[in-house]
Amino acid sequence: MVRSNKRNHAAQNIPASHALAAFSFMTRSTMTFRRYLVLAFVSVSAPLGDTFLDVGMKRIGPVSLAHISTLFHAVSTPWVAGGIVLLIGFFASYLTALSWADLTFVLPATSFGNVVVALLARFWRHEQISLARWVGIFLITAAVGFVTQGPSYTEHEQPITAPDAKEVCQL
């Protein structure tokens, strides 16, 4: 009910100059502060979850095929369990984001996770970041800026066609 009202509202906002144009879609912003927080969580939870798994598995050490049951034990360790919880949270937030924003909006907007990994490496693990990496960080940050300034959702409407000849004659 709520959704159909939103669609009707969107349809009424079609500019008069385009009234006879055959539209197949229109874009609008569906973003709120809470939804930006969801995108931020998508960006951060995936690299953080991967890092947790990495730390956990490094502590357990190499797992051989002969002792594959070690993997089941790994799931119960705090780091691996934390990583799994974060990755489940990532997937749930990613699905939620795709339900109110376009794929071509969500992917660039959440690519900031790559930057988070590089910054963690620089300031937490004190790794050196080359000039090429700083350029990469700048490009991804710019991409997030570009895409989040634009509309987030493509609204698919029924094509609005010009009235056919019979209707015009009846008028």
Partner 1 sequence: MSMLHHSALANAAMIGSIVVAATVGDVLIASAMRQIGDLDDIKADSGLVGAIKAVVTNTRFFCGVAAMAVSFFSLLFALSHADLSLVAPASASLTVVTNTIAGKLFLKENVDKRRWLAALCVCVGVVLLAR
Q: Which of 59, 95, 123, 163 binds partner 1 (CB under 8 A)?
A: 95
Q: Which of 12, 64, 76, 130 binds partner 1 (CB under 8 A)?
A: 130
Would residue 61 be called left, alpha or beta, if left means φ above 0 and alpha means ψ between -120 and 50 degrees?
A: left
> Would you give the binding string for partner 1 spanning residues 35-74, x where CB under 8 A is met?
----------------------------------------
Strand partners, 3: none
Candidates 13-21, 79-87, 110-118, 157-165: pick the segment binding partner 1 (CB under 8 A): 110-118
Contact status: 99 vs partner 1 (CB under 8 A): yes
Burial class (CB in 10 A: 0-12, 13-18, 19+), 155: middle
User: In the structure encoding, which two tokens stand for residue 58, read together?
Assistant: 């490094």
For the CB of residue 26, give the shortest distance to partner 1 in the complex, in Å: 8
For the CB of residue 166, give the shortest distance to partner 1 in the complex, in Å: 30
Q: CB of 45 within 8 A of CB of 90?
A: yes
User: In the structure encoding, which two tokens stand for residue 127, read together?
Assistant: 């790794």
For the stretch 51-55, contacts whose Cβ atoms lie closer than 8 Å and that sit 24 or more positions apart, written own/partner, are 51/83, 51/117, 51/120, 52/79, 52/80, 52/82, 52/83, 52/86, 53/79, 53/80, 53/83, 53/84, 53/87, 55/79
Q: Which of 81, 98, 120, 160 binds partner 1 (CB under 8 A)?
A: 98
Pick 12 or 99: Cβ nearer partner 1: 99
Interacting residues with partner 1 (CB under 8 A):
1-3, 24-27, 30, 95-96, 98-100, 102-105, 107-108, 111, 114-115, 117-118, 130, 132-133, 135-140, 142-144, 146-147, 149-151, 154, 156
